[in-house]
Structure 1
Amino acid sequence: MTEVKQLTESLIAYMQKLEIVFNKGEKPTHNDHAFFEKVRTEINPIYDMVEAWEEKTSYLIQQRKVDLHPKQVDATVKSIKAIALHSYYLDVRKRRYQDIKKSVEYVLQLLLKELSS
């Protein structure tokens, strides 16, 4: 359970970093291969972390150690991956970005609360 807590806290920190990237507003030029490589190297660790988080959190749900629904975990994983891409490619409006981010943060904070009790 401590590993899930650490992963959750790391994901929260990554979400804050991604928001900073989004707010900088650096749009890529068309077919910018260097930008694509930069994004790929920065996003891959997040994707790996999200997949580990999903696996370990799903296990805790199956063992009934946390009171979350599996669909919440699935939706959160998809949203984190979407946020990661939207942060760099700026292909979504700010309000939509914030809505996705808030839903992710809600589930992550809820999980932290469950793990603390």
Structure 2
Amino acid sequence: MDIKEQTIELKKQLQVLKENYEKNNPPENKKDKQFFMDVKRKTEPVYAMLETWESDVLAIVKQRKVNVHPHQVTSTRENMELLLMHSYYIDVKRKRYMELNHSVLYIFDQLLSDL
């Protein structure tokens, strides 16, 4: 999968996470092992995709093929990882969630327009 496809797929995942955040309620017990295992199962592929995406994008950033800085790429990965957790545990205010969401989306869109 090339960087463009990875970014498009991550954008889709970002939308799924946002819908999850908006439609669901926080878990009754945040220490529920079954809930944790369910979240882990759903999020592991996205974590793996993010890791690959980050290393691939950093490689093209070094070649100066896109107008994104390395720290933006790393921050985008970290923010997306935060969104992964916040989308299931619903443990952050909507304003903060949307700020993270928009910052991730901005970098994804920037990359896609540069590619």
Please classify the TM superposition score into its range, dividing by the shorter chain length: over 0.9
* TM-score, structure 2 normalization: 0.95
Q: Distance in 1 between matches of 2:25 and 2:38?
A: 13
- AA partner of residue 5 (structure 1): K
**4+ residue segments displaced more than 2 Å:** none
Note if contact 2:43-2:84 (Cα within 8 Å) is conserved in structure 1: yes
Q: Distance in 1 between matches of 2:107 and 2:53?
A: 12
Note if 1:65 corresponds to 2:61.
no
* TM-score, structure 1 normalization: 0.94
Report % sequence identity: 35
Other structure's SS at 2:2 match: helix
Where does the alignment leave 5 or more consecutive residues of structure 1 unmatched? none
2:13 corresponds to: 14
Note if contact 2:7-2:112 (Cα within 8 Å) is conserved in structure 1: yes
Other structure's SS at 1:43 match: helix
- AA partner of residue 22 (structure 2): N
Deviation sequence 1:69-101 (CA, Å, 0-9, x none): 001101100000000000000110011100110
Q: Distance in 2 between matches of 1:78 and 1:111?
A: 17
Q: Distance in 2 between matches of 1:26 and 1:5?
A: 33
Residue 65 of structure 1: how far off its partner (Å): 1.3
Q: Distance in 2 between matches of 1:98 and 1:36?
A: 23
Where does the alignment leave 5 or more consecutive residues of structure 2 unmatched? none
